[in-house]
A = this chain, B = another copy of it.
Amino acid sequence: MAVRTPDPDPDGRPSDDEPVEYGAAWLTDIELEQLRHRIPIVYVEAVPVRLDGLGRVIDVGLLLRATPMGEMRRTIVSGRVLYGETLRDALFRHLEKDLGPMAFPQLPASPVPFTVAEYFPVPSESPYFDARQHAVSLAYVVPVTGTTEPRQDALELTWLTPAEAASDAVCSELEGGRGALVRAALASIGALP
């Protein structure tokens, strides 16, 4: 089974959505694959939430993806930070990619994540696992105010109550140990039962 940090985009490879100006920073797929086993890769992740007028969380958004083997897995918004890209730009880019252009996410004013998830390709003391790479991921809670429309290989965005999202049943379906990440996200906003 290939549990992996979801990264459906041809990372670093110029696409229609991205400015093509990385020059020497351009990485072929093969180069990137090699790097993933030689150096920690910087990631950003986002747990999308819907808030009421007082900032209380109403719903938590989880993505549903099909793995190459046709297994359904839950995940969150997640992706690599490119060379020269700010964390904010990367966060915005991956939110748009996973939630669509009308999600209107409220990016955090603070660069401080609610947690830092360390993904290792081998079992470790960390709850997070990614067969593909060693990733250091800065994780944020991001309120969305618009309409979500998952793109790419995400089949669906499901909105769950905090209690549902924190349940053992749901957390065990999250890939790479991200159940712990969703619970930490909820705890950081005072919404973990």
Contact = CB atoms under 8 A, between A and B. Distances in A.
Choose among A54, A110, A127 the residue with the greatest number of B CB atoms under 10 Å from its CB. Answer: A110
Contact of A49 (B109, B180, B189): B109
Interface in A57-112: 57, 81-89, 92, 106-112
Interface string A138-172: 10010100000000000000000000000000000
A177 B115 CA distance: 24
Chain A interface, >50% SS class: loop
A6 interface: no
Pick the most buried of A35, A106, A125, A136: most chain B CB atoms within 10 A of its CB.
A136
Given A83-B40, A84-B120, A53 B107 contact: yes
Interface residues on A, range: 35 or more
A4 interface: no
Given A25-B38, A111-B189, 13 more contacts: A24-B38, A39-B41, A39-B83, A40-B42, A49-B109, A54-B92, A109-B141, A112-B113, A112-B115, A115-B190, A136-B138, A180-B192, A187-B188
The 9 closest A-B pairs by CB, nearest first: A55-B107, A187-B187, A109-B189, A184-B187, A54-B88, A40-B42, A111-B190, A111-B116, A110-B189
